[in-house]
Amino acid sequence: MEITDLSLSELAAALREKRVSAVEATRACLDKIHKTEDLNNFITLCETRAMRAAANADERLARGDFSPLCGVPVAVKDNISVRGVRCTCGSRLFDGHVSDRDATVVQRLESAGAVIIGKTNMDELAMGSTNESSAYGAVKNALDVTRVPGGSSGGSANCVAAKQVFGALGTDTGGSIRQPAAYCGTVGLKPTFGATPTDGLTGFCRSLDTIGVFARDCDDAATLFGAVCGRCETCLLDGDVRGKTIGVADEFFAAPVDDGVRCAFDGAVKRLQRAGAKIVRVSLISFDAALSAYHVLSSAEAAESILRFFGDNKSMLDKAGAEVRRRIMTGTYVRTGENYDEIYVRAAKVRAVIKSRYESALELCDAVVSPATSSAATKLGEKNDPIKTHNGDYFLAGASLAGLPAASVPCGVADGLPVGMQIIGGRDREREILNIGKAVMRY
Ligand code: GLN
335-383: pLDDT as tens digits: 887 888 889 999 999 999 999 999 999 999 999 999 999 999 999 988 6
110-150: pLDDT as tens digits: 999 999 999 999 999 999 999 999 999 999 999 999 999 99
> Is 365 contained in some domain?
no
What's the chain's average pLDDT?
94
> Measured on CA atoms in the order 218, 220, 221, 226, is the torsion positive or negative?
positive
> Is 128 contained in some domain?
yes
Neighbours of 130 (CB within 10 A): 31
Give the β-pairing of 167-172 and 210-215.
antiparallel
> Measured on CA atoms in the order 95, 100, 104, 109, is the torsion positive or negative?
positive
Angle between helices 287-310 and 346-364 (to 10 degrees): 130
pLDDT for res 251: 86
Q: Containing H/E element for 116?
A: strand 115-120
Whether ligand 1 lies within 6 angstroms of the CB of 131 is answered as: no
298-308: pLDDT as tens digits: 999 999 999 99
> Is 129 contained in some domain?
yes
Neighbours of 260 (CB within 10 A): 17
Neighbours of 325 (CB within 10 A): 14
Whether ligand 1 lies within 6 angstroms of the CB of 175 is answered as: yes
Which of 77, 176, 183, when mutated, tests ligand 1's pocket best, judged by the most ligand atoms within 8 Å of its CB? 176
Query: Closest Cα to atom 10, ligand 1: which residue?
Result: 127
Reply yes or no on whether the pLDDT at 258 is more than 80: yes
Residue 232's pLDDT band (cuts 50, 70, 90): low
pLDDT for res 254: 85
Report whether the peptide linkage leading into residue 152 is cis, meaning its omega lies within 30 degrees of zero: yes
Q: 98 pairs with which residues across the strands?
A: 86
Whether ligand 1 lies within 6 angstroms of the CB of 204 is answered as: yes
208-218: pLDDT as tens digits: 999 999 999 99
pLDDT for res 384: 61
d(CA 108, CA 116): 12
**Residue 176 is part of a domain; what is its CATH number?**
3.90.1300.10
Under a CB-based contact definition with an 8 Å cutoff, are residues 93 and 171 in contact? no
150: helix, strand or coil: coil
Instruction: Report the atom number in ligand 1 closest to the C-alpha of 153.
Output: 9
Residue 82, CA distances (Å) to 54, 98, 173, 199, 263 in order? 16, 9, 20, 12, 42
d(CA 421, CA 371): 5
Enzyme catalytic residues: 77, 152, 176
pLDDT for res 139: 98
Whether ligand 1 lies within 6 angstroms of the CB of 172 is answered as: yes
> Is 422 contained in some domain?
no
Query: Closest Cα to atom 4, ligand 1: which residue?
Result: 128
> Is 41 contained in some domain?
yes
> Is 71 contained in some domain?
yes
Which of 171, 393, 400, when mutated, tests ligand 1's pocket best, judged by the most ligand atoms within 8 Å of its CB? 393
Whether ligand 1 lies within 6 angstroms of the CB of 395 is answered as: no
pLDDT for res 286: 81
**Domain range for residue 126?**
7-228
- For the chain, the residue count is 443
Instruction: Quote the pTM value.
Output: 0.97
Which of 77, 120, 173, 291, when mutated, tests ligand 1's pocket best, judged by the most ligand atoms within 8 Å of its CB? 173
pLDDT for res 340: 84
Q: 86 pairs with which residues across the strands?
A: 98
State in Å: Cα 55 to ligand 1 middle.
Answer: 37
Locate the DSSP E strands across 47-87: 73-77
Reply yes or no on whether the pLDDT at 30 is more than 70: yes
> Is 79 contained in some domain?
yes
How many domains does the chain fold into?
1
> Is 258 contained in some domain?
no
Whether ligand 1 lies within 6 angstroms of the CB of 88 is answered as: no
Over residues 77-85, the mean pLDDT reads 98
